[in-house]
């Protein structure tokens, strides 16, 4: 791969607005951020809680979670060679304490093993003070129509969730360690070279058309010349413990866990308001079309799972992809 270091003039890297949870009102959130679909970092939200590995192990114990085995070579490869990404990477189900051991022994760092988007609804964490405080605050700024459960993301420092966008609005909250989030507005979609919709015909939901084929920090301008334009519109933020990032639908984001230790966040997806913003979002329509293209392949996987001996586990793994 030919990587070029971006010229300083190609990477202005502006930051996003930061608003204190103590002063951000419902009206201001709705008018300034939600209605136009602009991201914001909310500070002073959950800084008194620290979800470190001991706390998580004590709360989650033997409860099983699906881990994604990304493998250490993934980010050395040209993304055009990928056959899976996001929820499509090979899963393995393990008790939380086993994953904690993989983090402590650094096996999780070595093989880039990530616990991504795991619902906390059937765990004691849902009753925690941190989550009660978070729920009250989200309600306070008018986020009252969730499109997903509250999800836990736990992983080794150094892990990167590759550049993608989501079909829903999202909130990402840091509860231990920090993350660097690189964002691009929806207007930059074609300059970020998303995987084409037809990848779903071959790979079903394993490879996803809402992921980008570029590395924003190691650009290959020969293969992706329009990336130069996208880099003019790049934002970079460090999300610290207790802070929350609001990511409107269609905003591209790459999320890197910083430092060397375990990093932990909670996210949730939300219905997009006002509805007009959802209807006018080409990125959202793209994800729907992509899912339709995936149907034949998903159908074949379901038939194969139905005919297999470990039917219920295979069904669970297929459902986990959505
Ligand atoms: O925290 C991460 O690793 C990824 C989170 C993410 O992609 C999201 O919240 O939409």
CATH number (domain holding residue 80): 2.60.120.10
Per-residue burial over 1-36, b = 16 or more CB atoms within 10 Å of its CB, e = otherwise: eeeeebeeebeeeeebeebebeebeeeebbeebbee
Q: Is residue 189 part of a domain?
A: yes
Is the shortest distance between the CB of 265 and ligand 1 below 6 Å? Answer: yes
State the Cα–Cα distance between residues 248 and 33, nearest whole angstrom: 9
Distance, CA 91 to ligand 1 centroid (Å)? Answer: 17
What pLDDT score was predicted for residue 6?
52
Query: What are the φ and ψ backbone dihedral angles of 196, each rounded to 5 degrees?
Result: -70, 155
Q: Is residue 274 part of a domain?
A: yes
What pLDDT score was predicted for residue 2?
52
Distance, CA 117 to ligand 1 centroid (Å)? Answer: 8
| 313: containing domain | 8-320
What pLDDT score was predicted for residue 8?
47
Residue 90 pLDDT class (50, 70, 90 cuts): confident
State the Cα–Cα distance between residues 319 and 228, nearest whole angstrom: 38
Nearest-atom number in ligand 1 for the CA of 265 is: 1
Q: Is residue 3 part of a domain?
A: no
Q: Residue 303 is inside which H or E element, if any?
A: helix 282-307
Give the CA angle between residues 56, 59, 64 to the nearest 5°: 85
Residue 3 pLDDT > 80 = no
What is the residue-averaged pLDDT of the chain? Answer: 93
Is the shortest distance between the CB of 255 and ligand 1 below 6 Å? Answer: yes
What pLDDT score was predicted for residue 212?
98
For a ligand 1 pocket test, name from 85, 154, 172 the mutation site with the most ligand atoms within 8 angstroms of its C-beta: 172
What pLDDT score was predicted for residue 231?
97
Q: Which of 87-91, 133-137, 292-296 has the lowest mean pLDDT?
A: 87-91
Q: Is residue 1 part of a domain?
A: no
Per-residue burial over 50-86, b = 16 or more CB atoms within 10 Å of its CB, e = otherwise: ebebebbbebbeeeebbbbebeeebeeeebeebebbb
Q: Domain tally for the chain? A: 1
Contact 236, 182 (CB under 8 A): yes
Q: Is residue 213 part of a domain?
A: yes
For a ligand 1 pocket test, name from 148, 263, 265 the mutation site with the most ligand atoms within 8 angstroms of its C-beta: 265
Q: Is residue 191 part of a domain?
A: yes
Residue 1 pLDDT > 70 = no
Token pair for residue 57? Answer: 């192990």
Return the higher-pLDDT residue of 215 and 6: 215
Is the shortest distance between the CB of 166 and ligand 1 below 6 Å? Answer: yes
Q: Is residue 229 part of a domain?
A: yes
What pLDDT score was predicted for residue 12?
56
State the Cα–Cα distance between residues 291 and 207, nearest whole angstrom: 11
What pLDDT score was predicted for residue 310?
83
What pLDDT score was predicted for residue 301?
83
Residue 20 pLDDT > 70 = yes
What pLDDT, in 10s, does the model give residues 179-206?
A: 999 999 999 999 999 999 999 999 998 8
Neighbours of 106 (CB within 10 A): 11
Mean pLDDT calculated for residue range 265-287: 96
Residue 176 pLDDT > 60 = yes
Residue 285 pLDDT class (50, 70, 90 cuts): very high
What pLDDT score was predicted for residue 308?
87
Determine what percent of the chain is predicted with pLDDT higher than 70.
95
Residue 253 pLDDT class (50, 70, 90 cuts): very high
What pLDDT score was predicted for residue 52?
98
pTM: 0.92
């Amino acid at each position: 791969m030919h990587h070029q270091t971006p010229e300083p003039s190609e990477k202005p890297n502006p930051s996003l607005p930061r608003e204190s949870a103590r002063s951000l009102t419902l009206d201001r959130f709705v008018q300034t951020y939600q209605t136009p679909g602009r991201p914001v970092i909310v500070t002073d939200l959950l800084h008194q809680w620290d979800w470190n590995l001991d706390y998580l192990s004590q709360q989650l114990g033997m409860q099983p979670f699906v881990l994604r085995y990304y493998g250490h070579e993934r980010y050395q490869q040209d993304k055009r060679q990928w056959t899976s990404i996001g929820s499509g990477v090979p899963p393995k189900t393990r008790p939380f304490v086993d994953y904690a051991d993989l983090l402590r022994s650094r096996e999780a760092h070595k093989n880039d093993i990530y616990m991504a988007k795991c619902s906390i609804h059937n765990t004691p964490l849902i009753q925690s003070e941190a989550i009660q405080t978070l729920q009250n605050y989200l309600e306070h700024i008018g986020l009252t129509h969730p499109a997903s459960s509250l999800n836990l993301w736990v992983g080794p420092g150094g892990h990167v969730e590759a550049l993608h966008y989501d079909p829903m609005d999202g909130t990402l909250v840091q509860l231990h360690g920090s993350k660097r989030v690189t964002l691009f507005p929806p207007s930059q979609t074609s300059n970020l070279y998303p995987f084409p919709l037809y990848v779903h015909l071959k790979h079903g939901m394993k490879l996803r058309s809402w992921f980008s084929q570029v590395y924003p920090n190691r650009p290959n301008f020969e293969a992706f010349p329009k990336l130069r334009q996208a880099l003019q519109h790049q934002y970079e933020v460090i999300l610290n413990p207790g802070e929350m990032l609001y990511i409107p639908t269609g905003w591209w984001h790459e999320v890197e866990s910083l430092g060397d230790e375990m990093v932990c966040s909670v996210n949730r997806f939300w219905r997009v308001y006002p509805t007009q913003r959802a209807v006018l979002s080409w990125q959202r329509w793209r994800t729907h079309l992509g899912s339709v293209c995936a149907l034949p392949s998903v159908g074949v996987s379901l038939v194969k799972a139905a005919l297999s001996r470990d039917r219920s586990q295979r069904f669970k793994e297929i459902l986990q992809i959505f």
